[in-house]
Amino acid sequence: MHEDKNIEVFHANEDVFSKRESLVNFVSVCDVIVHLAGMNRGDEDELLETNISLGRKLIEACETSGQSPHIIFASSIQMSHDTAYGRSKRLSSEMFREWEARSGGIFTNLILPNVFGEHGKPFYNSVVATFCYQLAQGDGPEIIEDRTIDLIYVHRVVTIIRETINDSSEKEIKPSGLSISVSELLTKLNGFAGFYSEGTIPPLENDFDLCLFNTYRSFLYPKNSPMILTLHQDQRGTLFEAVKTLNGGQCFFSTTHPGITRGNHYHKRKLERFLVVKGEAVIRLRRLLFEDVVEFMVSGDEPCFLDIPVLHTHSITNVGDSDLLTLFWAHELYDPEQPDTYPENV
């Protein structure tokens, strides 16, 4: 929601939940509370108590402050299961529904399938995160149980949340996911890893493939960046392969005068490649909502490309004495109606 200037976002982390006064202060400034906090794995008794306690604390803080906000609760399709996690989601939903009835507040139960996306926590959040992490580390993922799972991309979840903020009439929302077996998922990811390790953008036949590939790429950065290209030389000069893709897209060159910076924006879905052909430059990236800036010095004398991860604001600055010549590639044609480009200084 960062690019929406009509929404002011506050965060409540573990420290806020651990102090009653801090949580009361938090709910006092919120018209809408999106309750994403919870424990996914661990000791069954601890998991059940932790998740129910978080909901109870949130309700008590609302009642203490006299606030009746709209609470959107990230529940799960597992709420019908007789597991500690499923029971915790079911009982929390019942608590929030009872609070709604007595407080005049609004409660929306957002029943989600398995959520995946960039920066997921491996061995905890999702099998997608685990497989992507293992492949990025050069390990061979193993399937413990091959079953069908429903997957939903985290960006779609955020879109649903934004729509629910604007229209609170729905009391229960149960978005569908894409059904895929664990073995099919691993086959796709292995294919992505194989193509990309050879410098080729893999086939991306639909939005799900794009979301899955962007998730995989997030586990490669920054360790595998930039990627060095093979420079072929003979009596005629030099040659290197700039972009190998089965998806088309758009390629363009730019010149940048000494000391000038381009960029200072981020993308949410777009695959974008920077490749300096001539001159000296520094490419800077910063993950959205974080402060650390990563810098890469690149030169046309040593060809390499940097594929920009989504949700990272980025820029390129000419640090040489002459004009900088840069090749840019994006996996899709530029659409001025939907540019997927959001201004943000690195």
The residues near 90 (Cβ < 8 Å, ≥ 6 apart) are 79, 80
Q: Which backbone phi and psi does 288 adopt, to 5 degrees?
A: -55, 135
Is 85 assigned a catalytic role? yes
Q: What φ, ψ does residue 262 adopt, rounded to 5°?
A: -110, 160
CB of 292 within 8 A of CB of 210? no
Beta strands, E only, 122-209: 148-153, 172-173, 178-181, 200-201
How far apart, in whole angstroms, are the C-alpha atoms of residue 287 and residue 2?
A: 12
State the pairing for strand pair 227-228/148-153: unpaired
CA distances from 288 to 2, 70, 154 (A): 9, 26, 15
Q: Which of 85, 196, 216, 221 is catalytic?
A: 85
Distance between CA atoms of residues 254 and 244, nearest Å: 20
- Percentage helix, strand, coil, to 5, in the chain? 35, 30, 40
The encoded tokens of residue 92 equal 């929390």
Residues involved in catalysis: 85
